[in-house]
Structure 1
Amino acid sequence: MTKETIGFIGTGVMGTSMARNLMKAGYPVHLYTRTKSRAADLLNEGAEWKDSVASLAQAADIIITIVGYPRDVEEVYFGENGILEQARPGSYLIDMTTSSPQLAKEVGNQAASKQLHAFDAPVSGGDIGARNGTLSIMVGGEESSFPAILPVLESMGKNIVLQGPAGSGQHTKMCNQIAIAAGMMGVVESMIYAEQAGLDPKRVLQSIEHGAAGSWSLSNLAPRMIEEDFAPGFYVKHFIKDMGLAIESAEQMDIPVPGLILAKQLYEQLSKAGGENEGTQALYRYYHMMKNDN
């Protein structure tokens, strides 16, 4: 049985592995990205290049986007040559960017008016989850169309939950980022405390990561901190963007988020110190910078 053709836009740290897993699952994948060279490995592995958003949208049954910022989502979805105008009626649109819940609703409403099925489906799990096909995928969209895209999502992730109508996936990702933001401060402070107390941080991890303190960040990012490996599994600059979106949404709902605001301030300082293209675990380095300044 021939599988649907996937149009995939965005081949960054996450997107490259996600597209590769779709190809491994047998889906024909067409690619578009602003810089063709960033897609070179996937093209060598059998993906087909499209030279514009429009040509990709016209050729695909299912269009997946994972780009950087809400403004990038607007650029690829709206306008005469955007996905909403160029996709064939009946196509499925899946935006996996972490973006604005309100923007997701707008895409969903316009898609429905054009006989398209739109989903917002942001992910969590970092470069490891993308590479291993074990991402958590938070989905917003119409329940009746969800079964049609589920096999595609299962090629990229393991924990896939339809949260509600358009925008619900993005709201769920905001919950995820709020929890991570305060948690990352705790992970960093825990590791620095261990060092200053004369403990072996690796041994400390053996004791605490499987107890009440356990978290994905503690198990996956604390070891990178200890090794001073700050390569991005998820960029600092994108985490700042996510926290900004979460703060904006929280303010609209009149919800206080002081921990999130503090975390964003710390990451903004890290970014100003040259860390915007490092991984989120680089907050550890910034804490050491603050300690040395004192």
Structure 2
Amino acid sequence: MTHAGFIGLGSQGAPMAQRVLDAGLPLTLWARSPASLEAFAGTKAELAATPAELASVCDVVGVCVVADADVEEVVLGPSGVMAGLRPGAVLAVHSTVHPDTCRRLGALAAERGAHVVDAPVSGGGPAAASGKLLVMVGGESEAVERCRPVFETYGDPVVHLGPLGAGQVTKLLNNTLFTANFGIAASALALGQQLGVEPERFAEVAGHGSAASFALGRLAASGCDPARLGSMAGGLLGKDVRLMGALVDGTPAEAVLAQARVALERMGAPLDALDAPDAAKE
């Protein structure tokens, strides 16, 4: 069976790792925060002393930390994953980062006869726990297929989108579109209030009509207060919109990116925010 390794046991990564265990696959864990390993005490999961030690025994190594710097720390730092990655093994980057970060790691892994796929996910902890994460994958077909036995324990669907980096581009565009939709929904609720319709009532009606959207649903769930979602997810959304802006730097700004920036202002989330909520960190 595929021996999986996992690094990044936060609110999303921990249930992903648990799904791997529940599927009966061998699993080795390492964490920057020892406290995040407590949930796996008494399970069949093995623990590694370093990321390199973990990589040396695994066929697929999943990394689910917050940002580019975090990925580089656990992969390229002292005794990092890259130092132990064995020929034929695959590093799967589940974090949402710049596509070029994954491409650089891919070039380094190739020197060791190993592979990198980018596999950002969407759905959060509840979707991970139920095996219903959306997994957006970029990389060589052979490497992606090696990862499927692991990905399919927590992901449905698992979508191969193209070469290395394609998964990250797709995830960033997805989150930029969500942010833009959220901002437009918030604007509509504010306009309705100016015209005498309570935001909660408009959200209820629009949620059952042709204007329904996931973003509108999240806004309604937050009490129709954009700042409330901003306090919970603004940092992560700001990071992803900033990365999307970097991808299109030097080209005319698309409407979706402009709307996403306006939405972040409504949320009170600065574009350069990189810190995720504590619950998302390991």
TM-score (norm 1): 0.81
Q: What is the alpha-carbon distance in structure 1 between the residues aligned to residue 118 and residue 276 of structure 2?
A: 26
Counting aligned pairs with the same residue, the percent is 29
Q: What is the alpha-carbon distance in structure 1 between the residues aligned to residue 234 and residue 278 of structure 2?
A: 6
1:61 equivalent in structure 2: 59
CA 269–76 in structure 1, closer or farther in 2 if over 3 Å, else same? closer
- After TM superposition, the structure 1 stretch with the greater mean CA deviation from structure 2, 21-30 or 91-100, is 21-30
- After TM superposition, the structure 1 stretch with the greater mean CA deviation from structure 2, 166-175 or 260-269, is 260-269
Q: What is the alpha-carbon distance in structure 1 between the residues aligned to residue 16 and residue 210 of structure 2?
A: 32
Q: Deviations over 1:62-115 (max 9, x none)?
A: 100010110111111224522122111111110000001111111112212211
Displacement, 1:170? Answer: 0.7
Q: Deviations over 1:147-202 (max 9, x none)?
A: 2212221111112211111111111111101101111223334555667745482x
Q: Deviations over 1:16-51 (max 9, x none)?
A: 111111112112222111111122113344422223
1:259 equivalent in structure 2: 259
CA 47–234 in structure 1, closer or farther in 2 if over 3 Å, else same? farther
Partner of 1:133, secondary structure, is coil
Q: Deviations over 1:101-155 (max 9, x none)?
A: 1111111122122111210011112233223221111111001222221222111
Q: What is the alpha-carbon distance in structure 2 between the residues aligned to residue 252 and residue 30 of structure 1?
A: 43
1:241 equivalent in structure 2: 239
Q: How many residues align?
A: 274
Q: What is the alpha-carbon distance in structure 2 between the residues aligned to residue 233 and residue 141 of structure 1?
A: 34
- AA in 1 matched with 2:173: C
Could you tell me which of 150, 171, 181 is aligned with 2:179?
181
Does the 8 A contact of 1:128 with 1:233 survive in 2? no
CA 213–141 in structure 1, closer or farther in 2 if over 3 Å, else same? same
Q: What is the alpha-carbon distance in structure 1 between the residues aligned to residue 77 and residue 270 of structure 2?
A: 36
5 Å-filtered alignment, 1:6-155, equals 6-79=4-77, 81-155=79-153
- AA in 2 matched with 1:172: T
- AA in 2 matched with 1:33: A
1:289 equivalent in structure 2: none
- AA in 2 matched with 1:132: S
Does the 8 A contact of 1:187 with 1:222 survive in 2? no
CA 36–268 in structure 1, closer or farther in 2 if over 3 Å, else same? same
Partner of 1:260, secondary structure, is helix
Are positions 1:223 and 2:215 aligned together?
no
Does the 8 A contact of 1:54 with 1:81 survive in 2? yes
Partner of 2:216, secondary structure, is helix
CA 61–255 in structure 1, closer or farther in 2 if over 3 Å, else same? same
Does the 8 A contact of 2:120 with 2:136 survive in 1? yes
Q: What is the alpha-carbon distance in structure 1 between the residues aligned to residue 117 and residue 207 of structure 2?
A: 35
CA 230–262 in structure 1, closer or farther in 2 if over 3 Å, else same? closer
Alignment RMSD = 3.1
CA 7–276 in structure 1, closer or farther in 2 if over 3 Å, else same? closer
Partner of 2:86, secondary structure, is coil
- AA in 2 matched with 1:248: A
- After TM superposition, the structure 1 stretch with the greater mean CA deviation from structure 2, 88-97 or 187-196, is 187-196
1:287 equivalent in structure 2: none
Q: What is the alpha-carbon distance in structure 2 between the residues aligned to residue 93 and residue 71 of structure 1?
A: 16
Does the 8 A contact of 2:2 with 2:149 survive in 1? no
Q: What is the alpha-carbon distance in structure 1 between the residues aligned to residue 240 and residue 268 of structure 2?
A: 12
- After TM superposition, the structure 1 stretch with the greater mean CA deviation from structure 2, 213-222 or 192-201, is 192-201
Unaligned runs of at least 5 residues, structure 2: none
